């Protein structure tokens, strides 16, 4: 008999349920008896021993459902080493609950922060298997994460809608796409939506180049311009500051986000009113796209196989079109950035897209 803990951690995304269903179906298929402890609201559930016993039925019919049936939270992440308000040591508490329940393994579905914690728990002696969940596609060790393509679809649909209104009014429009540190989502949605300018965290922009592109388009008869801006887009000047000064600058900014700053700068330089649209959390929500459903199900199945074989300490990832197991200590603490010199950036430029660089 296997006793399996499971939790979903960090910002939710599409296909978390599909992935968990994949794990559970694979275990069920093996014929081995299993008990599934679903910890509620991420690591918080493990810390405070808050869980539900789940069985196959609970995972039936959830392939297409957005969100996570276990709930999620960002707790504890950065404060993991600090005691909680009652003085409880969080890592200790998680270990105790794991061992008290005599779990064979803890399955963690999460992004970067969650993988740091997962690796820490591994170091503390817990058996861990993880699955790469994030709309940002920035997890180290895997070419793809689930949630990403669904988020691309939603952000693209948003740009598509803006396209018709931008063209009708001859306006400049900014669509702010999620992604504080990496630009995969913005780049793909921007390319798919036919954005004219794409501003990414990895390629600091020069506002003069942005304006130049808008004016070039006008000269060529295009009355409108669509700009896809990542939440973490950064100007060349700001990029030169120390991280500390960047943070200070952001805190003191009068703009709700960088998109509004870009809009204002364009207005000041050209007199053009610029509209900003922020799809925000919609990018994490709704039913997963078919790609993510298949992908997350496959990863879940492979996680199930690892559990059955007793191979722990791995993230199930995807590399060169093969599903692979990646040691957790390789994954934790690293981010998969977009290389400004990568082929896809070069191609985007050939397609006429400006990155403001």
Range 280-299, binding a second copy (CB under 8 A): 280-286, 289-291, 293-294, 297-298
Is 206 catalytic? The answer is no
Strands 51-54 and 34-39: antiparallel
Active-site residue among 12, 136, 196, 292? 136
| Under rule CB under 8 A, residue 257 binds a second copy | no
The residue behind tokens 């298949």 is 294
Say if residues 107 and 132 touch (Cβ distance below 8 Å): no
* Residues numbered 126-145 forming contacts with a second copy, rule: CB under 8 A: 143
- Least distance CB 93 / a second copy (angstroms): 20
Binding to a second copy in span 79-108, by CB under 8 A: none
Binding mask 43-72 for a second copy (x = CB under 8 A): --------------------xxxxxx--xx
162 makes contact with a second copy (CB under 8 A): yes
For a second copy, give the closer residue by CB, 171 or 269. 171
Contact between 9 and a second copy per CB under 8 A:
no
What is the four-CA torsion angle of 68, 74, 75, 77, rounded to 10 degrees?
Answer: 130
Per rule CB under 8 A, is residue 327 in the interface with a second copy? Answer: no
Half-sphere exposure of 180 (CA within 13 A, CB side): 5
The single-letter DSSP state of residue 342 is S
In the range 15-34, which residues lie near a second copy by CB under 8 A? 16, 21-22, 25-26, 28-29
| Three-state SS at 325 | strand
Among 301, 316, 326, 332, binds a second copy (CB under 8 A): 301
CB of 47 to a second copy, least distance (A): 16
**Residue matched to tokens 């943070």:** 247
Interatomic CA distance for residues 253 and 281, integer angstroms: 22
Return the residue of 152, 228, 266, 316 that touches a second copy, per CB under 8 A.
152
Task: State which residue, 291 or 337, has the beta carbon closest to a second copy.
Answer: 291
Q: Which is nearer to a second copy, 91 or 192 (CB)?
A: 192
* φ, ψ for residue 66, nearest 5 deg: -70, 175
Plot region of 61 (φ>0 → left; ψ -120 to 50 → alpha; else → beta): left
- By CB under 8 A, tell whether 169 contacts a second copy: yes
CA 162 vs CA 58, 70, 190, 239, 278: distances in Å: 39, 35, 12, 29, 11
The DSSP symbol for 32 reads: -
Residue 322 binding a second copy, by CB under 8 A: yes
Indicate which single residue of 9, 73, 97, 117 sits in contact with a second copy (rule: CB under 8 A): 73
- Measured between alpha carbons, how far is 198 from 24 in angstroms, rounded to an integer? 40
Residues between 333 and 352 with contacts to a second copy, criterion CB under 8 A: 343-344, 347, 349-352
CB of 80 or CB of 191, closer to a second copy: 191
> Where are the strands (E) in 111-152, listed by range?
128-132
């Amino acid at each position: 008999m296997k006793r399996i803990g499971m939790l979903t951690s960090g910002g939710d995304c599409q296909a978390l349920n599909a992935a968990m269903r994949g794990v559970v179906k694979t275990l069920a298929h093996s014929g081995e008896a299993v008990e599934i402890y679903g910890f509620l609201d991420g690591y918080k559930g493990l810390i405070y021993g808050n869980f539900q016993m789940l069985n196959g039925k609970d995972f039936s019919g959830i392939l297409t459902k957005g969100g996570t049936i276990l709930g999620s939270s960002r707790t504890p992440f950065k404060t993991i080493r600090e005691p909680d308000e009652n003085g409880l040591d969080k890592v200790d508490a998680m270990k105790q609950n794991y061992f008290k329940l005599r779990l064979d393994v803890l399955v963690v579905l999460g992004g970067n922060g969650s993988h740091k914690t997962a690796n820490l728990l591994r170091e503390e002696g817990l058996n861990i298997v993880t699955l790469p969940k994030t709309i940002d596609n920035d997890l180290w060790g895997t070419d793809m994460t689930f949630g990403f393509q669904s988020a691309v679809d939603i952000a693209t649909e948003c740009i598509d809608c803006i396209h018709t209104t931008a063209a009708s009014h001859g306006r400049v429009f900014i669509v702010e796409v999620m992604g504080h540190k990496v630009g995969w989502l913005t780049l793909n949605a921007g390319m798919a939506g036919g954005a004219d300018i794409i501003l990414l965290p990895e390629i600091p922009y020069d506002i003069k180049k942005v304006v130049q592109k808008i004016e070039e388009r006008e000269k060529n008869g295009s009355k409108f311009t669509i700009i896809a801006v990542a939440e973490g887009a950064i100007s060349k000047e700001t990029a030169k500051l120390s991280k500390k000064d960047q943070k200070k600058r952001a805190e003191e900014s009068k703009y709700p986000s960088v998109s509004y700053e870009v809009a204002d700068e364009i207005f000041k330089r050209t007199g053009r009113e610029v509209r900003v649209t922020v799809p925000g959390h919609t990018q994490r929500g709704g039913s997963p796209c078919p790609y993510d459903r298949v992908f997350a199900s496959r990863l879940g199945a492979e996680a199930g196989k690892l559990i059955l074989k007793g191979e722990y300490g791995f993230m199930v990832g995807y590399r060169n079109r093969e599903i692979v197991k990646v040691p957790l200590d390789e994954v934790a603490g690293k981010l998969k950035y977009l290389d400004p010199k990568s082929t896809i950036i070069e191609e985007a430029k050939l397609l006429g897209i400006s990155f403001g660089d």
